[in-house]
Structure 1
Amino acid sequence: MALVSEFLGQLTLAYGGECEPKFPTVVPARDFDPAKDAARIETAVKTKGVDEQTIIDILTRRSYEQRREIAFEYEKLAKKDLISALKAALSGPLEAVMLGLMKSTAQYDAFQLKASMKGLGTDEESLIELVCSRSSEELLDIKKVYKEMFKKDLEKDVAGDTSGNFAKLLLALVQTKRDEPSNVVDYEKIDQDARALYEAGVQKKGTDVAIWISIMSQRSVPHLQKVFDRYKSYSPYDMKESIKMEVKGDLEKSFLTLVECFENKQLYFASRLGDAMKSKGAKEKVLTRILVSRCEVDLMKIRTEFKKQNGKSLYQTITEHTKGDYQKALLSLCGGDD
């Protein structure tokens, strides 16, 4: 009996927690030989003109753990670290992709957050994407790694770089106080939250943003999905329309990102990728960030949503909007055509 209850407890942890299922395009390589890979990379960086194709073939088709093993073997072989060798051999957007792949997903996100708050002016668009689209579990990992990498608290940097209600929302999310999903649906609480969101916004003159922040930063995702559905029985507008009417600027973008991610996170990323490749030439920073940060998380599902939304595959779209070795690297991370 004890064994059965232990097993059921593990099931609840697996499904009740915020541990999201993974749909990666980059998975561990079979018949993996880190020493052989390290030797091939050493030859590639020493070749006159650099053999980028070999570097791309190896680093985009190995998992992060495998890349770490390659880096360890490389240092033994070449007596220098792999990251320095890549920096010396590569440049431009290809270098950004390869160096990104040498970090874990949490390290890469932490590094991107730091970059969005560096120097004069804040890259609000990147900051919103990174904070509002990550689960509490991902944010906990990012905070830990951020502290290790930069010897500073993410909360302090966010507070120092933003202001007003925008800062309050981001900080509430970074503090990761979101409820764990429950197997019990609390219809009374769903109704209360839906009514509170309506009364704090559309129903009154001005908006009580504090109520919106507390509900959207603390309730579990499945609960919020039901709240937004219930919201429509109180308000003539859905949640996204209400946000557009009630708030503006970075706060509006943040709330919209949250709602889009609660409803369908992979569709949100697919839309971001679509927007990044709308005009002539692609927004390389956005493209790189999403493909590198999601290739071992849910890029396979993002690909599916992209095809549904755009009528053409992510693979084809990348082919049309990028070129050269950068294109080869992104296509390899994309993992195939749909």
Structure 2
Amino acid sequence: MAPTVHPYEDFNDEEDAKALKQAFKGFGTDEDAVIEILTKCSNEQRREIATRFKTMYGKDLIKELKSELRGNFEDVMVALMTEPIEFQAKQLHKAISGLGTDENTLVEILGVHNNEEVVKIAQAYEGLYQRSLESDIKGDTSGTLKRLLVGLSTGCRDESDIVDEDAAFKDAQDLLQAGELLFAGTEESVFNSVFCQRNLPQLRRVFDKYEEIVGHSIEKAIENEFSGTARDAMLQLISCVRDKISYLAKRLHDSMSGIGTDDRTLIRIVVSRSEIDLQEIKEEFEKLYGITLAERIADEVSSDIKKTLLSLVG
């Protein structure tokens, strides 16, 4: 793993709390000071600053940030301050509760995290909203997409690294018979079972076996057999399974393509991966698109969050 943000060696929560209090004084907020303080340290250290801030001033730092800041700048600063599991739970809620369902965000969050993390995110979700993640997914989606997302939300994927060639061949045959060889329709339960339960190296081997048997990729099969949001979600999941780093680089690229930027996705990935593997994602981004992630952010992203994101990207 290669993060771009590390714990700050000369960290002093009291000094940072004082500096933030000073940044909030007077007319307007010293945004540069806020960026400097909150992007130089880890999430755990930021939360220590929040604890110290409350002890010293009797105020909740996140509430102070919300009252002082606006728009995307507020969003990115609150994201930096939020405990990582809680942050992902809140992102899932936004993806479900907005106008329509943002299924790509659901697949991203449920796809890139391991079982333990998915279970913790689901628990945090229920604690925050008094409803289970599964029930909200069921209430907001339907059909194939609903069953796929519920399957991912259980956190029950095999997490061994064992690859069984015979089992991969059988799964590939089962997928073929449930899809392209089926006379009418598609038995999507077979796809969900394989996609949501097999360990990642095994699943990649299933994809290879499928292509060996049929002569075209599993992606082509999904495009042939599924449509709409279910097709898109499955293709996103396959991309994530094949190579998580490449998948996240593509997600970042897509968030800055077209008219305007998808700021929520951009903020979520940069903030949440900055202490995990953002350095690897940066390298993959440049390899895929011939431009650095920092250059792309500088060119495409609005000024209110550009400096913060560039500080995190490094």
Q: TM-score range by the shorter chain?
A: over 0.9
Contact 2:107 2:237 (8 Å CA) reproduced: no
TM-score normalised per structure 2: 0.95
Deviation, 1:128, is: 3.1
Matched, 1:266 2:261: no
Deviation, 1:279, is: 2.8
Could you tell me how far apart the structure 2 residues matched to 1:83 and 1:218 are?
38
Which residues of structure 2 form unaligned runs of 5+? none
Could you tell me how far apart the structure 1 residues matched to 2:273 and 2:181 are?
39
Deviation, 1:119, is: 5.5
Q: What is residue 219 of structure 1 aligned with on the other side?
A: 198
Does the residue aligned with 2:276 lie in a helix, a strand or coil? coil
Matched, 1:314 2:293: yes
Could you tell me how far apart the structure 2 residues matched to 1:332 and 1:120 are?
32
Deviation, 1:280, is: 4.9
Q: What is residue 125 of structure 1 aligned with on the other side?
A: 104
Matched, 1:229 2:208: yes
- Which amino acid counterpart does residue 173 of structure 2 have in structure 1? R
Q: What is residue 287 of structure 1 aligned with on the other side?
A: 266
Q: What is residue 167 of structure 2 aligned with on the other side?
A: 189
After TM superposition, list the pairs within 5 Å mapping 1:113-192 onto structure 2. 113-118=92-97, 121-182=100-161, 184-192=162-170
Q: What is residue 257 of structure 1 aligned with on the other side?
A: 236
Could you tell me how far apart the structure 1 residues matched to 2:108 and 2:47 are?
27
Deviation per CA, 1:220-257: give whole Å up to 9, x if none.
00111111111112112111111111101111111111
Residue identity over aligned pairs, in percent, reads: 39
1:202 aligned to which of 180, 185, 191: 180
Deviation per CA, 1:267-319: give whole Å up to 9, x if none.
11111111121235422122112112222222111111100100010000000
TM-score normalised per structure 1: 0.89
Could you tell me how far apart the structure 2 residues matched to 1:125 and 1:192 are?
29
Could you tell me how far apart the structure 1 residues matched to 2:41 and 2:238 are?
33
Does the residue aligned with 2:24 lie in a helix, a strand or coil? helix
Contact 1:52 1:325 (8 Å CA) reproduced: no
Deviation, 1:55, is: 0.6
Distance of aligned partners of 1:166 and 1:281 in 2 relative to their CA distance in 1, 3 Å threshold = closer
Could you tell me how far apart the structure 2 residues matched to 1:119 and 1:241 are?
31
Contact 1:133 1:257 (8 Å CA) reproduced: no
Contact 2:163 2:201 (8 Å CA) reproduced: no
Structure 1 residue runs of 4 or more that deviate by more than 6 Å after TM superposition? none
Q: What is residue 39 of structure 2 aligned with on the other side?
A: 60
Deviation, 1:136, is: 2.2
Contact 1:53 1:325 (8 Å CA) reproduced: no
Matched, 1:40 2:19: yes
Contact 2:104 2:236 (8 Å CA) reproduced: no
Distance of aligned partners of 1:118 and 1:310 in 2 relative to their CA distance in 1, 3 Å threshold = same
Q: What is residue 110 of structure 1 aligned with on the other side?
A: 89
- Which amino acid counterpart does residue 258 of structure 2 have in structure 1? S
Could you tell me how far apart the structure 2 residues matched to 1:264 and 1:88 are?
40
Contact 1:181 1:223 (8 Å CA) reproduced: no
Which residues of structure 1 form unaligned runs of 5+? 1-21
Deviation, 1:91, is: 0.6
Q: What is residue 83 of structure 1 aligned with on the other side?
A: 62
Higher mean C-alpha deviation, range 277-286 or range 261-270: 277-286
Contact 1:133 1:258 (8 Å CA) reproduced: no
Does the residue aligned with 1:24 lie in a helix, a strand or coil? coil
Deviation per CA, 1:155-204: give whole Å up to 9, x if none.
1111111111110110011112211214x432211111111112211222
Matched, 1:244 2:244: no
Could you tell me how far apart the structure 1 residues matched to 2:85 and 2:26 are?
33
Aligned-residue RMSD, C-alpha = 1.5
Matched, 1:26 2:1: no
Could you tell me how far apart the structure 2 residues matched to 1:294 and 1:129 are?
12
